[in-house]
Amino acid sequence: MTYGNDKVAFSKYLTALRDEVRNESKRKIARKESMK
C-alpha cells in the first residue's frame, strides 16, 4: 500500500491525507475479511 507516496512526498498535508486514505482502505479490508 505504498502507491502514490512518491507523488505526495512534497506536501505534509497530502502525505497525511494519503495516510488517512490508506488507513480507511485497511479498515474496509478488515471489515470485509471479518464478514467471511
Residue with cell 494519503: 18
* Cα 31 from Cα 11, distance rounded (Å): 30
> Where do the H-state alpha helices sit in 1-36?
5-8, 12-34
Three cell numbers written together for 12: 505534509
User: What pTM does this model have?
Assistant: 0.75
Instruction: List, for residues 1-36, the tens digit of each pLDDT value.
Output: 888 899 999 999 999 999 999 999 999 999 999 987
Three cell numbers written together for 9: 512526498
Asked if 14 and 8 touch (Cβ cutoff 8 Å), the reply is yes
